[in-house]
Structure 1
């Protein structure tokens, strides 16, 4: 969503109108899950993908037409026969795609998508974009799109009463990483069409504690997978820009109080790979006081048992320790720093996908 909104905002700022295409429902096998999106320009060129093959080609054609006509459209598509072969699937499936033209001449669109894109940068808050999915209606943003930040309306408007707004705010506050979904909540009955809710979370950030060999291999992979990056090591010769050019921040702080005064938030992914048991223990103790999405610690089962025993004696509960991913990474038989880094990033992606409600993860696709 972060890269998508940045691209949409950039196109609109250059005066290019677009048609957004979002998969809003999926049954059976399909090349992409609900929530996948891309946009199509007036000349038929596009950014992103919703699966490729003949299916995507037909969506592009219809999206370009919807943009020229200035009308939204709910597109129903059944994948079967040659379409299945094009998408390299075993069996067919049904997909619903919402086509949403966004005119660069509409000042409400310009303001809304600029604000939405900015919501992904800086800070640790969350926002949500709600779109009234009228089939065959006007694509203008007024009365059809609403941006909420921190549970409060920020830009745009919807025909939703106070109870409905409160319900939207509750969804935002309860889990800022919910997937795109149709809204079924108090107040929805009064709406002329369903709502598409899109979570806009700030970029998830991987905090790597320790600047050693594994960390150096891990950093570029984490950045490539779409995570922000902070590297912490008390030794400037190990934690610096030369070793970690991808890092947004480098912390050269004593590890025994490296998180003092920090509130990393629920989009934080903590990776503990320091140079020794004592430092791992100290960083883990601090990490368990954070509301992080992920806490992982490198090391053998014997090392983990020693650290867990010491923390238990200091009052850390077994429930807290059960949340730690240790040994860290997916079990792929990794041995070298490069292989270990791959296993860690794979686990980070898996956890992120689960938090975002990935249907592919749940379906085992």
Structure 2
């Protein structure tokens, strides 16, 4: 939801504020990174948890907008009495509340998000300043606030908020809408297409067989793309937040997809198959003269190694890997090392 909220803030408006959950301990209604926009009339969009906790944040948001300075709010939900007035979720939330009447930083961030790139919103609580960093580490609004470059890059890559050691500088990663192109509308492709929208992907299911893309076979909210696999890949709007999954019906169509994908930008691309099939397809891509570094970056065989068997289980294995890539999970490195060992170096 981040890109939609940033778009609202980039439109401008007096008396607006942005509230973001920056830390959660124990059980809380919203996870770190959840955002809410408030205006003079109260809630505009998003949520940081609802109920009495959110009502308090809305009051703090009005005060922050009036004063023009950010603040941190602690919401305690560790009440012990089910019949008492205290919230009993069992945890605490720390929420950064900052004025957002100036659309300039959000417009700068939105420009990057619209390109499919991530951006980082940095807030200095003491100075009351807002800064924006692009995915390449360049500060594109407000100048460098003195952030630790490694901390800023980690926050940007994993998509989780962070703070400096003193707690005065808060870093909020902003993520673009991510697109998932599934090439192959067979059993696994449809199972993944049904699962992925709930994981906040904009999903397109492509196939060269029109009968596999009829409306009654498409999961809700999934777009269809018909044509040769090369045509589908060439027409698709790839960017730095595009994920491509090849689950076509055979090695020849897999090879067609791989050849086309290696000529486009993406955050993630991979294909399903046995180790032997993967090796043959990769060897052919090398023989075609395609970029060896990009061939090595392909994830194949695709998905987490969880002994998946059914199309639905395979979809879960693939989706798990997509989430790991989205969050730059520490588990990625051993997963990729094991994959390289199974298939041999490209």
Normalised to the residue count of structure 2, the TM-score between the two structures is 0.68
Q: Is the 8 A contact 2:77 2:88 kept in 1?
A: no
The CA deviation string for residues 258-316 of structure 1, in whole angstroms up to 9 with x for no partner, is 76899956533222121323322553577689885544545xxxx52441353476579
The answer on whether the counterparts of 1:294 and 1:351 sit within 8 Å (CA) in structure 2 is no
Give the match for residue 15 of structure 2. 17
Secondary structure in 2 matching 1:270: strand
Instruction: Please tell me whether residue 37 in structure 1 is matched to residue 21 in structure 2.
Output: no
- 1:285, 1:311 within 8 Å by CA — same for their partners in 2? no
The Cα RMSD (Å) is 4.7
Partner residue of 1:209?
A: 183
Partner of 2:250: 276
* CA distance in structure 2 between the aligned counterparts of 1:179 and 1:152, rounded to whole angstroms: 19
Cα distance change on mapping 1:6 and 1:312 into 2, 3 Å: closer
Counterpart check, 1:351 vs 2:324: yes
The 3 A distance-change label for structure 1 pair 266 and 114 is: closer
Q: Give the Cα separation in 2 of the matches to 1:196 and 1:225.
A: 26
The one of 53, 56, 77 aligned to 2:54: 56
- For 1:2, what is the secondary structure of its paired residue? helix
Report the CA distance shift for 1:27/1:80 in structure 2 as closer, same or farther (over 3 A): same
User: Do residues 129 (structure 1) and 102 (structure 2) align?
Assistant: no
Q: Deviation per CA, 1:176-220, whole angstroms, max 9, x where unpaired?
A: 444221135xxxx8xxx7222222343322121124566467557
Q: Is the 8 A contact 1:147 1:155 kept in 2?
A: yes
Secondary structure at the counterpart of residue 142 of structure 2: strand
**Is the contact between residue 17 and residue 62 of structure 2 (CA under 8 Å) also seen in structure 1?**
yes
Which residue pairs with 1:155 in the alignment? 141
Deviation by residue 1:121-162 (Cα, 9 ceiling, x = unmatched): 1x343332221123xx76xxxxx112233432322345x4xx
Contact 2:20-2:34 at 8 Å conserved across structures: yes
The offset of 1:70, in angstroms, is 4.1
Alignment match, 2:75: 77
Where does 1:126-205 land on structure 2 (aligned, <5 Å)?
A: 126-134=118-126, 144-149=129-134, 150-157=136-143, 160=145, 164=146, 167-168=148-149, 171-172=152-153, 176-183=157-164, 194-205=168-179
* 2:289 aligned residue: none
Matched, 1:112 2:93: no
Count of aligned residue pairs for this structure pair = 318
Note if contact 1:329-1:347 (Cα within 8 Å) is conserved in structure 2: no
Task: Report the CA distance shift for 1:148/1:56 in structure 2 as closer, same or farther (over 3 A).
Answer: same
Contact 2:274–2:301 (CA under 8 A) maintained in structure 1 = no
Contact preservation (8 Å) 1:296, 1:328: no
Residue 277 of structure 2 is matched in structure 1 by: 307
Question: Once the 2 structures are TM-superposed, how far is the Cα of residue 80 of structure 1 from its aligned partner?
Answer: 0.9
